Amino acid sequence: MPSRRRSRQRALQILFLWDARRQPVDEAIDGYYDTLYSEEHPERDPFVADLVRGTVEHVAEVDEQISKHRRALAHRAHARGGPQRPPPGGL
């Protein structure tokens, strides 16, 4: 059984695939293991599947929280005078 840290990393990779490909969550999970580990055939970690399915189930709430914090960061950057840019001609 992989570490929880490794399981969370795999879940994030699967979520990236799911979001990019817009495929059913179970296909994303299967595709991750079949494509990336086609020769190794590791034991599938149920914790990874639980993390992925749970996140997909609550994706609207997750997106809302990300948007809320993204807006706050944008407001702070604007208050500072915008994003920091290197001077013309490079550093």
- pLDDT tier for residue 11 given thresholds of 50, 70 and 90: very high
Asked if residue 19 belongs to a domain, the reply is yes
pLDDT of residue 68: 79
Asked if residue 73 belongs to a domain, the reply is yes
Distances 15 to 37, 56, 76 between C-alpha atoms, Å: 17, 8, 29
pLDDT of residue 16: 93
0.75 exceeded by pTM: no
Asked if residue 87 belongs to a domain, the reply is no
**How many domains does the chain contain in total?**
1
Q: Minimum mean pLDDT among 6-15, 41-50, 77-86: which range?
A: 77-86
More confident site: 44 or 15: 15
Asked if residue 32 belongs to a domain, the reply is yes
Asked if residue 27 belongs to a domain, the reply is yes
Residue that the structure tokens 């001609």 belong to: 89
Q: What is the DSSP letter of 86?
A: P
Asked if residue 85 belongs to a domain, the reply is no
> In which domain, by residue range, is 33 found?
4-79
Any long-range contacts for 53-60 (C-beta under 8 Å, 24+ apart)?
Answer: 53/25, 55/11, 55/15, 56/15, 56/18, 56/25
CA distance 83 to 20: 28
